[in-house]
Amino acid sequence: MSMLEQIHSPADLQGLSVQQLQALCGEIRQRIITTVSHTGGHLASNLGTVELTVALRYVFPSVQDEIVWDVGHQAYTHKILTGRNAALPSMRSRGGLSGFPNRHESPWDPFTVGHASTSISAALGIAQAKLLKGEPGAVIAVIGDGALTGGLAYEGLNNAGRFPKNFIVILNDNSMSISRNVGGIARYLAQMRTKPSYRKAKTDIESLLSHAPLVGAPLSKLVKNTKTAIRSILYNSTLFEDMGFFYYGPFDGHDLPTLLEVLRNARTIDHPVLLHVVTEKGRGYTYAEQNPGAFHGVSQFDIATGEPAHKGGETFSGMFGDCLCRFAEQDPGICAISAAMKTGTGLQKFSRAFPRRFFDTGIAEEHAVTFAGGLASHGMRPVFAVYSTFLQRGYDQIIHDTALQGVKVVFAVDRAGIVGEDGETHQGVFDAAFFNAIPGVTVLSPCYFEELYQDLRRALYELPGVVAVRYPRGGQPFCPAQFQPSGADWALYGEAGAPVLLITYGRLFAQACRAQERLLHEGVRAEILKLNQIKPLPAAALDAAQNRQAVFFFEEGMRCGGVGEHFAASLLERGFHGKFFLQAIDRFVPHETVAQALADLKLDSSAMVQIIKTEWGK
């Protein structure tokens, strides 16, 4: 029996020697590589935190010692050590483990996560609750240097520095978020990493200064100011200590004996502590070490070669990047913005071709939106490419700093709709509803690549103000031979003038086409109204629905505030007397494949047929 098979909780680590713990780390790495090669998921980030996690759960073995992982895409070792090793192959599949910490999955996960920069604030809330209730146990926040580019992290640090008891923040510094880190924080941490003499010098000098004889208040003040000045020289900044933390590091995040000693010491300090730990993303798997960005999030792959098991074709993300480059070649005003997702959103080609007009803000969506508003206010044409789930973080800025300003900003909303295995925290099902509430915003939702090109052109040059172009993950879906994609606001397809009208937008049009064919074979005449512009609703599209006997709206987005509700309200205002049925989303969508999710939500072609037959029969 392997050592890993004998670990069912952190308590099982306690009898192991350092050498045995190091051997266990090797077994865990192999377990992660093997599992992710079959399930897909986050690989490089998890390989970089194996020793750190083992050390944490060795020193903090109780379920009352609560660890909050920022983003949570590095917590596979945590799951393995907390009783979920046997279930690891089920990760990211229907009914299996989540790819992120989830408080509904295990008592060892104190907080459900998936977005960056939240750990310090959440952990501080947990620590404060424990203090108020007199509950035992330590609280630790583990945050990566990539997540430290997000403003919420500093709001958390600013407040946590005043906490009156032990509170540990671990800065997991691997010089990466997903793309290579950028900006002042990355430079600051790099400077700290290049000062191996820092810890010894800091200890020696502060010891000397603390024992300096004081002769009255003036000399005491002088010594205090001198200590501050020397710290500033050693740091180049006193960022963490100025926020109230005791700072220690940097430490080698793969040196297990050192990590154990440091964590034991940190636990005894009755004060907020920040431990700076340097790790290597992708450690232990050559291909991930050489290209950690490519192995951040992966699909199934061949361990021996590092090659994906299934070659992907052209995607909406890639097509968007190509289209934007075509426009930018002719228009020097076009700028592209990414929030640490250059590769994921298809902007790598743009970044190489137009480096002066490409801006990576780090994981700072709020800043990216307001930055775009500033660019637009002085005549540039900014395009912010961002996953739907992450754009949620910039909602106030969309309202206040772009729409209210009346400026030309284009949001290229990637991963709109169901994304599949990443689950509740990443499904892009809220953007249509939250854009609906903002005056003066136009929202386009293409189903095919040609429509994406036309919509992006219209967003840049024809439509006023803020325009969002939202498109799904992956490639374009099925398209009937008789349908010609275009940039039109809306289109009709199928049985002209049929009493049943099926309405949808985005990639669900493909599902609707298959449903319409099946309905025709079963004696139900239906026509499809395909919306390309979903806000504001085209008046002519409302006219086309006005006199139907039954209207069925299927929406891959939230029901409350969504496009279907707005369409129904507009029809009623026009005196519509037919039957209206809306099938949309009214819950968080768990991790499973896109096809499984659409079936569960009754949004695939089979469900459309069944719903229409049932309701039309009534």
Asked whether residue 283 carries a pLDDT value surpassing 70, the answer given is: yes
The pair of structure tokens assigned to 483 is 């349908």
Q: Specify which residues 381 forms β-bridges with.
A: 334
Q: How many CA atoms lie within 13 A of 461 on its CB side?
A: 12
Query: How far is residue 7's CA from residue 16's CA, in Å, rounded to a whole number?
Result: 11
| 528 φ, ψ (degrees, to nearest 5) | -110, 130
Task: Specify the 3-state DSSP secondary structure of 594.
Answer: helix
Find tokens 């146990």 and name the residue: 137
Q: Specify which residues 535 forms β-bridges with.
A: 443
| CATH number at 493-617 | 3.40.50.920
Tell me the pLDDT tens digit for each residue of 391-438. Answer: 999 999 999 999 999 999 999 999 999 999 999 999 999 999 999 999
Q: For 181, which DSSP code?
A: P
Q: What's the maximum distance between 2 C-alpha atoms anywhere in the chain?
A: 100
Is residue 186 very low, low, confident or very high in pLDDT (cuts 50, 70, 90)? low
Tell me the pLDDT tens digit for each residue of 537-580. Answer: 999 999 999 999 999 999 999 999 999 999 999 999 999 999 99
Query: How far is residue 232's CA from residue 126's CA, in Å, rounded to a whole number?
Result: 32
Asked whether residue 64 carries a pLDDT value surpassing 80, the answer given is: yes
- Quote the pLDDT of residue 195: 47
> Torsion angle, CA of 114/131/50/198, rounded to 10 degrees?
110
Is residue 294 very low, low, confident or very high in pLDDT (cuts 50, 70, 90)? confident
* Region of 283 on the Ramachandran plot (φ > 0 left; ψ -120 to 50 alpha; else beta): beta
User: Residues of the chain with pLDDT > 70: what percent?
Assistant: 90
* Region of 134 on the Ramachandran plot (φ > 0 left; ψ -120 to 50 alpha; else beta): left
For the 4-198+242-298 domain, the top CATH level (class) is alpha beta
Instruction: Cite the beta strand spans of 447-525 per DSSP E.
Output: 467-470, 490-494, 500-505
Element (H, E) at 593: none
Tell me whether the CATH fold assigned to 4-198+242-298 matches the one assigned to 316-470: yes
Tell me the pLDDT tens digit for each residue of 213-227. Answer: 554 555 455 545 554
Q: Specify which residues 193 forms β-bridges with.
A: none
| 584 φ, ψ (degrees, to nearest 5) | -145, -170
Of 171, 166, 151, the closest CA to residue 66 belongs to 166
- Quote the pLDDT of residue 203: 54
Mean pLDDT (whole number) for 189-218: 51
Helix, strand, coil percentages (3-state) for the chain, rounded to 5, are 45, 15, 40
Domains of the chain by residue range = 4-198+242-298, 316-470, 493-617
* Region of 609 on the Ramachandran plot (φ > 0 left; ψ -120 to 50 alpha; else beta): alpha
Please give the positions annotated as active site.
281, 365, 393
Element (H, E) at 60: none
- Quote the pLDDT of residue 104: 96
Is residue 38 very low, low, confident or very high in pLDDT (cuts 50, 70, 90)? very high
Answer yes or no: pTM beyond 0.75: yes
Query: How far is residue 395's CA from residue 392's CA, in Å, rounded to a whole number?
Result: 5
Q: Does domain 316-470 have CATH number 2.60.40.420?
A: no
